[in-house]
Chain A
Amino acid sequence: MSSQTTQFTRQPTDTGSAPEALQQRSRAQRSRNRVRTTALFVIFFAVFIVVWHLATVGFDDGGLAPTPGATWDRLLEMLSDAFLLDGPNNVGIFYHLLASIQRVLLGFGLAALIAVPLGLLLGTSRVINDGLDPFIQVLRPVSPLAWLPLGLALLRDSQMTAIFVIFMAAIWPILISTIDGVRRVNPLFLDLARSLETDTKTRVLKVLLPATLPAIVIGLRTALSTAWLVIVAAEMIVGGRGMGHFVWNEWNALNTPSIVVAIVIIGGVGFLLDRSIAQLQRLVPKS
């Protein structure tokens, strides 16, 4: 009890120097934490490599298991041949990556173009939404890959089919997030728009859309990462160029180090795609 009161009474006399000292302490704390995380990362990475090495060396079944050394060599090789374009079977990793990114962006863009206006409509109109909702609920849980044979049969083009599969993967998250966003727009915004006698166009473009934008961007983010997950699997089946096709091809050639390199590249690019939308998310004002 008495020690508490002395603490309280002593504090004010310290306040002159306290903020400066506190700031310094928190700065020191932060840089110490940064050193710690870096050190931990290096240690984990080293342990990972050692375990990987031991596992693959001790588990050698005819050179199938990718050792860290072989993977490293393969990585350098693939990077130096990244832009190779020598006949249909000898294509650098860059062009595979480019093909995958193109398909994903095309399918994703088409999905956004349809899902955002549709979501705005369904979010505003209870009647239309209730009529369409059963379709959405049944189609949404279907793996986009299930559409692939249908796409091949109807579109008769592997390139278009891959884009179609991505479209089917990307449309649901955008649609559902947009509908949800519209429902959560502050109803007073709509009262305001009505009291200003605005026409439907102004109401949708100037009030509803900007107010829903944060939710739309969340939908876009989920859709893009789903699309990137799906494209590899789709390309394993449709062939042509692309990361999925590359992985499958290397498996047929029993070239497992290439697959490890491809996995790291797929993960890295997926991360970058997600970051770019996260960046967009920060630009959009909250509502």
Chain B
Amino acid sequence: MSQTITAPHAAEPTAPEPVVKIEGITKGFPDRKKGFQPIVGLTDVDIQEGEFITIIGPSGCGKSTILKMIAGLESADEGSIRLAGKPIDAPSRELGIVFQQHVLLPWMSARQNVLFALETDPHNTRSKSQLESLADEYLELVNLSHAADRRPAQLSGGMQQRVGIARAFALEPKVMLLDEPLGALDALTRHELQLQLLELCEQQKRTFIMVTHDVDEALLLSDRILVMGTGPRAQIVHDIAVPFSRPRDVENLEQDPKCHELRGFLLNSLTGH
């Protein structure tokens, strides 16, 4: 009889390997006056394939920093982040990013911006016209076909952010990273784009990690909400499973008493009482 069969870690043989595995990362920045300032100190977090994770927390606690580390744009001081088992040590096209402010190249049209992201793929095997129709397809997905030839300066804030979302989706990444994608928008546009995002992620079935300030946005979109505390060494203080079934509907959600309860809890934990 082999002992490995009864070993404790074999007790859950069906547990799939997480897409993103965060293991005890810390990160700080040098500060001219105060010396080294520790910002985040996360314990372990596993993110499963197809999960929609939202990170929520007070301003300046290091949410963008965490997202940048997952994106490979910043390196952690300690600990490791793995993407499908492999450590993330450089940015990768497997991770699509939507930045906090839109980052569209101003000398290119909306279509060219999406196309640029597709064309720069070193392993690209598709023809130029195939890429073009792919870019158009993703612009269509965010309802921007009519504005595809406009430059970013000629687009409204919401449209710019949608181009950014289309670009990240077009990469067809394993994991989508969204840093307050709708944070800079007015309430009406934000609500509209939240619904669009909900639809997109329900039909695309990818893994999402999103940072937001908006409790309702978090409840509407995510499967799991990670609430961060304040720094220094900010960490996750609550890891909340969102129990609503999919496909979701705003109106149903608004009437759900569980939603009210969670909302109150989240707001409380954010204001720190």
CA distance A198 to B92 in the complex (A): 10
In the complex the two chains form, is B93's CB within 8 Å of A189's CB?
no
Is the CB–CB distance between A191 and B107 below 8 Å?
no
A12 interface residue per 8 A CB criterion: no
Binds A, one of B9-17, B115-123, B141-149, B264-272: B115-123
Q: How near does chain B come to A217, taking the closest CB pair, in angstroms? A: 13
Whether A198 touches B99, Cβ cut-off 8 Å, given contacts A191-B73, A286-B106, is no
- Decide: A199 and B122 in contact? CB cutoff 8 A: yes
A30 within 8 A of B: no
* Interface flag for B97 (CB, 8 Å): yes
Main secondary structure of the interface of B (DSSP, over half): loop
Q: How far is the CB of B111 from chain A (nearest CB, A)?
A: 15
A186 contacts across to B, CB distance below 8 A: 103
In angstroms, Cα B99 to Cα A188, docked, is 8
CA distance A188 to B103 in the complex (A): 7
A286: shortest Cβ distance to chain B, in Å? Answer: 7
Indicate whether A195 sits within 8 Å of B120 (C-beta atoms), given known contacts A188-B101, A189-B105, A210-B105: no
Report if A5 contacts B (CB, 8 A): no
Partner of A195, one of B72, B106, B107: B72
Residue of B nearest to A286 (CB): B106
Q: Is there a chain A Cβ closer than 8 Å to B91's Cβ?
A: yes
Interface string of B125-158 (1 = CB under 8 A from A): 0000000000000000000000000010100000
> Would A191 and B103 count as touching, CB distance under 8 A?
yes
- Cβ of B71 < 8 Å from any Cβ of A? yes
Q: Is B95 an interface residue, CB under 8 A from the partner?
A: yes
Please, which residue of chain B has its CB at the minimum distance from the CB of A210? B107
Structural contact, A195 and B105, CB atoms closer than 8 A: no
A192 interface hit (Cβ, 8 Å): yes
* Cα(A211)–Cα(B103), bound, Å: 12
Q: Which residues of B contact A195 (CB under 8 A)?
A: 71-73, 91-93, 95, 97
Flag whether A197 is at the interface (Cβ < 8 A). Answer: yes
Given contacts A191-B73, A202-B120, A285-B151, contact A197 B92 (CB under 8 A): yes
B62-82 interface code vs A (CB 8 A; 1 in, 0 out):
000000000111000000000
Task: Please give the distance in Å from B152's CB to the nearest CB on chain A.
Answer: 10
**Contact across chains for B91 and A197 when beta carbons are under 8 A apart:** yes
Q: How far is the CA of A242 from the CA of B259 in the complex (A)?
A: 83
The 8 Å CB contact of B116, one of A206, A213, A285, is A206
Q: Does A82 contact B (CB under 8 A)?
A: no
Say yes or no for A260: interface residue by CB 8 A criterion: no
Q: How far is the CA of A285 from the CA of B107 in the complex (A)?
A: 6
Would you give the shortest CB distance from A81 to chain B, in whole angstroms? 48
Chain A residue with Cβ nearest B97: A195
- Measured between C-beta atoms, what is the minimum distance from A122 to chain B in Å? 23
A49 → B minimal CB distance (Å)? 48
Chain A's closest residue to B153 (CB) is A286
Chain A 206-225, CB within 8 Å of chain B: the 1/0 string? 11001101000000000000
B92 neighbours in A (Cβ, 8 Å): 195, 197
**Interface: A194 (CB within 8 A):** yes
Chain B residues with CB below 8 A from A207, complex form: 105
Is residue A127 within 8 Å, beta carbon to beta carbon, of the partner chain? Answer: no
Q: Is A287 an interface residue (CB 8 A)?
A: yes
Residues of B within 8 A of A35 (CB): none
Binary B-proximity of A108-132 (CB < 8 A = 1, otherwise 0):
0000000000000000000000000
**Would B106 and A192 count as touching, CB distance under 8 A?**
no
The reply on A22 being an interface residue by CB < 8 A is no
For residue A146, CB closer than 8 A to chain B, the reply is: no
Interchain residue pairs with CB less than 8 A apart (6) = A191-B91, A195-B91, A195-B97, A196-B93, A196-B121, A210-B107
Chain B interface residues (CB < 8 Å from chain A): 71-73, 90-93, 95, 97, 99, 101, 103, 105-107, 116-117, 120-122, 151, 153, 171
